[in-house]
Amino acid sequence: MKKVLGWLQKIENFILVATFVVMVIASFAQVVNRNLVHAGISWFEELARYCMVYMALLAAEAGLRDGTQISITAVTDHLHGITAKIVRVIAQLVVIGFSAICFFNSFTILQTQITSGQMSPGLKLPMVVPYFALPLSFGIITVIQSAALIMLLLNKQTGKEENA
């Protein structure tokens, strides 16, 4: 299981880095193009926006994985022992449930985009490409957070607990 999770995290990190680099280059090119060439090329902005969508959704999982997401700890900091573990398990189940629901419902959105044949205005890219960020990110969140829950139930340390 650790090998599969490591593989998923490497793919996720590669996509995060690649989309960040493309977004920065596209944004820089758009600024240079507007200020020096004085010609607006809309697909630079569109490309940067789509990269930002992928980054935001995938970074949400990276934040959940290493425990850097914003969380309300006013209550959980005062809990110890089995009560704290029960609260962590419930919170993990909520995250898994939400991401699984989003994952399965995102296929309806993808199917709608495929049947409509809608294309993006600047890049002339099928809109299924930017919308694919939803099942990709929520699928990874569901798998990795489920594995984290299993490790929590088996009393194995995860990055989140080591940092607490």
- Residue 159's pLDDT is what? 46
Q: Give the Cα separation of 11 and 100 in Å (integer).
A: 20
Over residues 35-88, the pLDDT tens digits come to: 888 777 778 989 999 999 999 999 988 888 877 666 656 666 777 778 778 888
Which residues lie closer than 8 Å to 122 by C-beta, 6 or more apart? 42, 43, 44, 45, 46, 47
Which of 125, 101, 131 has the alpha carbon at shortest distance from 113?
A: 131
Which comes out higher in pLDDT, residue 83 or 130?
130
Confidence of residue 162 (pLDDT cuts 50, 70, 90): very low
Over residues 88-129, the pLDDT tens digits come to: 888 889 999 999 999 999 999 999 999 999 999 889 999 999
